[in-house]
């Protein structure tokens, strides 16, 4: 199958963040970047489908400045066949503008399946994948926790609050990937060497008009420092007292 | 002054809590823009029209009822097409939906159909003018709070369920009916099965109290202790860490954290949970946090209002009994 996976370059989620001098973005100094978590699951899902189903192609797309080339190489070192950078100076915080750039490129690709993360770590928006589906007029499953593809049809599971649904759909389709399907593999040394020779194409991104912008960024208020009230079961009465009189939640 | 269109989410023919929260957010937006009307759309099988009364009680001026026997299960394509059709027909300032499983699916579709900017997972609505809407949206797994501005006369806004409290604003809603703007039978996404969680269980997103367990519980059967404690509170849901959902002790849907559910209950009790940064990302905005962990240096104690050091297997049953007694004493 011909599968496209769209990935974003985002900072390591374990990082401590500081707000940058402009106060409209984070300070990127010293941060490590990688494929955004959910999109890295999507890469793994694509590789597994093509490994299971025989001859296929996995193509990775990223919209962004030249730094995304490293991120595309990472996906290729996991086993993807080639990468495409849709070049912009910076990535706007406007999911629809990014989706338009991806859809313009994917439209003529003849893809059976286009995969995304459920949401990107930085924007935490959950817009791009579903918007691309709508722009391409593809069937779309948002936030799948299971995915099976067989005979040109897909079956997916989605978690609803307190329930779950199983849906069926015909290809071509867009699926955005939630957790639980696949844990991304680590690139092997052989994979890393091979990735250096795989094709990486750069094209200008046809971003849509940017209508959503960041006015300011702040760190959330710190929680008051934690307090240990006691040890073992003997501390339970004190906890009950605090929950009743101080926190007033009991 | 401008009108706001709200998607009032249902499951089967019943309203979901998020529907009332979305109406509350819609009401606030309408008021902020000088006092327009709130129009709420419900779509579902026959019987769904009964929701109109409650939507009115929470501030809807008009309820648009889309009743069709084929809409037993959530039909994302029909809902998106019908919401977009209605939005085009009226002159609305915003379409408000919940950032829920349904809303995640519907929001971007509607935005594309309307070619309107979209902001999601919004925790606060700020200034509204004729072509600018300012909102607050946490990013980087809740580690950074962004203020976003969406430019345009019509914006799609999806709101974080835990950030909004539904508020009555009594009205008698006028009821209009509307036919689905797309044929339900032609949908490309066919729902084969919906499995409901256990009867009487409260969703993590709605529960005022959450008791969560981690690997410190040692074995899946020990989750019984956590369930018993939740039952003692009566209004509690059970959560889990990724360590235990990965091991299949609990379903993935119970996972709280960066890649799981993000919750903000009144009381969060972490049992045998180390407090990894990815777990904290999902629960650090809880009002009161209690931690039970045998390691006094566990990072969870840094955010816990009340920490108890010790063996969860020994402490939790005692706590359960004490909660039962406290509840009975009231
Ligand atoms: C990209 C990414 C995303 C992630 N997303 C999530 C997420 O969404 N949610 C999430 O939870 N994790 C997530 N994780 C995993 C996270 O990093 C931790 O591994 C996980 O939260 C640890 O779970 P735990 O606290 O149950 O287990 P552990 O870290 O093993 O902690 C167990 C704790 O139990 C205590 N303990 C042991 N025995 C007892 C006892 N008898 N009584 C009391 N305490 C005891 C120990 O002292 C320890 O602190 C993610 C990781 C990555 C890399
Ligand atoms: N700049 C980008 N380039 C390629 N894919 C992207 C980009 N931004 C977002 N995506 C994809 O869209 C998903 C959702 O992003 P978002 O809508 O920003 O939460 C991500 O997990 C990626 O799969």
The overall longest dimension of chain A from CA atoms, in Å, is: 68
Probe site for chain A from B102, B105, B139, B297 (most A CB atoms < 10 A): B139
Output the six-digit token pair for A242: 């605090």
Q: Measured from the CB, is residue A62 less than 6 Å from ligand 2?
A: yes
Apex A86 CA angle, A110 and A174, nearest 5: 40
Asked if A167 is an interface residue toward chain B (Cβ–Cβ < 8 A), one would say yes
User: Crossing angle for the helix pair A95-106 and A128-136, nearest 10 degrees?
Assistant: 40
Q: Among A239, A246, A248, which would you mutate to test the B interface (most chain B Cβ atoms within 10 Å of its Cβ)?
A: A239
Pair A126, A141: CB distance under 8 Å: no
pLDDT of residue B1: 73
Give chain A positions within 8 Å (CB) of B303: 223, 226
Considering only CA atoms, give the Rg of chain B: 21
Residue A238 has a CB neighbour count (10 Å cut-off) of 13
Q: Among B76, B143, B148, select the one facing A214 at the smallest CB separation.
A: B148
Question: DSSP label at A154?
Answer: E
Check if the beta carbon of residue A91 is closer than 8 Å to that of residue A36: no
Nearest to A175 by CA among A154, A199, A197: A154
Q: Within chain B, which residues score under 50 in pLDDT?
A: none
* Contact between A50 and A58 (Cβ < 8 Å): yes
Whether residue A80 contacts residue A49, with contact meaning beta carbons closer than 8 Å, is answered with no
Residue B84 CA to residue B143 CA, distance in Å, equals 33
Distance (Å) from CA A135 to ligand 2 centroid: 15
Report the distance separating Cα B238 and Cα A172, nearest Å: 38
The pLDDT value recorded for residue B227 is 96
Could you tell me the distance, in angstroms and rounded to a whole number, from the CA of residue B272 to the centre of ligand 1? Answer: 8
Give the per-residue pLDDT at B294. 98
Closest-CA residue of chain A to B196: A163
CB B44 within 8 Å of CB B13: yes
Lowest mean pLDDT among A89-103, A132-146, B72-86, B157-171: B157-171
Ligand nearest to the CA of B219: 1
- CA B12 to chain A, closest CA, distance in angstroms equals 12
Residue A164 binned pLDDT confidence (cut-offs 50, 70, 90): very high
In the prediction, which pLDDT does B199 show? 61
Do A219 and A99 touch, CB atoms closer than 8 A?
A: no
CA-atom Rg of chain A in angstroms: 21
Place of tokens 């430019």: B151
Helices (H), chain B: 17-32, 51-57, 76-89, 101-114, 223-233, 242-246, 277-283, 300-303, 312-329
CB contact set of A221 (below 8 Å; sequence gap of 6+): none
Give the number of other Cβ atoms within 10 Å of residue A77's Cβ: 21
Please indicate if any CB of chain A lies within 8 Å of the CB of B134. yes
Query: What is the percent of chain A with per-residue pLDDT over 70, rounded to a whole number?
Result: 100
Between the alpha carbon of residue A185 and those of residues A45, A47, A146, A189, the distances in Å are 10, 10, 18, 12
Mutate to test the interface with A, among B189, B210, B257, B282 (most CBs of A within 10 A): B189
Do A174 and A114 touch, CB atoms closer than 8 A? yes
Question: What are the structure tokens assigned to A144, written together?
Answer: 């799948």
- Rounded to whole angstroms, what are the CA distances from A200 to A41, A62, B151? 21, 11, 35
Rounded Cα–Cα distance for residues A233 and B156 (Å)? 50
Count of Cβ atoms closer than 10 Å to residue B69 Cβ: 9
Give the tens place of pLDDT for each residue, A177-233: 998 888 999 999 999 999 999 999 999 999 999 999 999 999 998 888 899 999 999
* Furthest-apart CA atoms within chain B: distance in Å: 62
**Element holding A20 (H helix, E strand):** none
pLDDT for B329:
81
Residue B205 has a pLDDT of: 87
- Is residue A74 within 6 Å of ligand 2 at its C-beta? no
ipTM above 0.85, yes or no: yes
Say which DSSP state A187 is in.
P
User: Is B309's CB within 8 Å of A231's CB?
Assistant: yes
In whole angstroms, what is the distance from residue B130 CA to residue B92 CA?
Answer: 11
On the 0-12 / 13-18 / 19+ scale of CB atoms within 10 A, A16 is: exposed
Nearest 5°: phi and psi at B190? -105, 120
Q: Which pLDDT value is given to residue B330?
A: 58
Beta carbons of B43 and B78 less than 8 angstroms apart: yes
| Cα(A27) to centroid(ligand 1), Å | 28
Partner A contacted by B328 (CB < 8 A): no
Residues 88-117 of B with CB under 8 A from A: 99-102, 104-105, 107-109, 111-113, 117
How close is the Cα of B303 to the center of ligand 1, in Å? 15
Q: Does A221 touch chain B (CB under 8 A)?
A: no
Tell me which residue has tokens 């390591």.
A12
Note the pLDDT of residue A54. 86
Distance B276 CA to ligand 1 centre (A): 6
């Amino acid at each position: 199958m011909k599968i496209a996976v769209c990935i974003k370059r985002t900072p390591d989620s374990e990082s401590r963040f500081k707000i940058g001098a402009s106060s409209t973005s984070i300070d990127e100094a010293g941060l490590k970047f990688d494929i955004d978590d959910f999109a890295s699951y999507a890469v793994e899902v694509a590789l597994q489908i093509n490994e299971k189903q025989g001859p296929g192609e996995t193509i990775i797309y990223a919209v962004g400045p030249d730094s995304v080339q490293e991120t595309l190489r990472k996906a290729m070192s996991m086993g993807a066949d080639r990468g495409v950078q849709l070049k912009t100076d910076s990535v706007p915080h406007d999911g629809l503008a990014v989706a338009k750039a991806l859809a313009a490129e994917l439209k003529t690709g003849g893809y059976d399946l286009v995969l995304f993360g459920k949401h990107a770590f930085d924007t935490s928006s959950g817009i791009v994948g579903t918007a691309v589906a709508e722009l391409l007029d593809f069937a779309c499953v948002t936030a799948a926790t299971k995915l099976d593809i067989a005979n040109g049809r897909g079956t997916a599971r989605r978690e609803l609050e307190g329930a779950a649904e199983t849906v069926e759909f015909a290809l071509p389709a867009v699926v955005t990937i939630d957790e639980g399907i696949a844990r991304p593999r680590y690139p092997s040394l052989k994979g890393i060497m091979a990735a250096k020779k795989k094709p990486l194409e750069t094209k200008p991104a046809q971003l849509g008009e940017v209508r959503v912008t960041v006015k300011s960024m702040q760190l959330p208020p710190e929680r008051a420092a934690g307090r240990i009230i006691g040890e073992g079961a003997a501390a339970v009465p004190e906890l009950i007292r605090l929950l009743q009189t101080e926190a007033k939640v009991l | 002054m401008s009108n706001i269109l709200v998607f009032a989410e249902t499951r089967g023919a019943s309203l979901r809590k998020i529907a009332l929260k979305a109406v509350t957010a819609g009401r606030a937006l309408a008021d902020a823009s000088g006092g327009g009307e709130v129009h709420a759309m419900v779509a579902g099988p026959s019987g769904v029209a009964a929701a109109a009364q409650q939507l009115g009680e929470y501030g809807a001026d008009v309820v648009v009822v889309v009743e069709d026997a084929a809409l037993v299960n959530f039909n994302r394509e029909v809902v998106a097409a019908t919401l977009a059709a209605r939005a085009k027909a009226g002159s609305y300032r915003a379409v408000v939906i919940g950032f829920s499983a349904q809303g995640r699916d519907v929001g971007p579709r509607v935005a594309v159909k309307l070619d309107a900017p979209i902001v999601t997972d919004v925790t606060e609505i700020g200034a509204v003018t004729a072509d600018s809407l300012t909102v607050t949206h946490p990013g980087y797994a809740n580690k950074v709070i962004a203020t976003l501005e969406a430019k345009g006369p019509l914006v799609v806004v999806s709101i974080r369920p835990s950030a909004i409290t539904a508020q009555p604003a009594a009205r008698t809603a006028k009821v209009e009916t509307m036919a689905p703007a797309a044929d339900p039978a032609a949908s490309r996404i066919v729902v084969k099965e919906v499995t409901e969680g256990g009867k009487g269980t409260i969703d993590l997103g709605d529960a005022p109290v959450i008791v969560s367990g981690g690997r410190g519980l040692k074995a899946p059967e020990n989750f019984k202790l956590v369930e018993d404690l939740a039952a003692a509170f009566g209004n509690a849901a059970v959560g889990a860490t990724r360590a235990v959902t990965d091991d299949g002790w609990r379903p993935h849907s119970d996972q709280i954290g960066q890649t799981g559910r993000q919750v903000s209950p009144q009381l969060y009790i972490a049992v045998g949970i180390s407090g990894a940064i990815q777990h904290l990302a999902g629960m650090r905005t809880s009002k009161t946090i209690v931690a039970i962990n045998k390691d006094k240096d566990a990072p969870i104690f840094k955010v816990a209002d009340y920490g108890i050091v010790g063996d969860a297997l020994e402490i939790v049953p005692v706590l359960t009994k004490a909660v039962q007694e406290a509840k009975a004493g009231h």
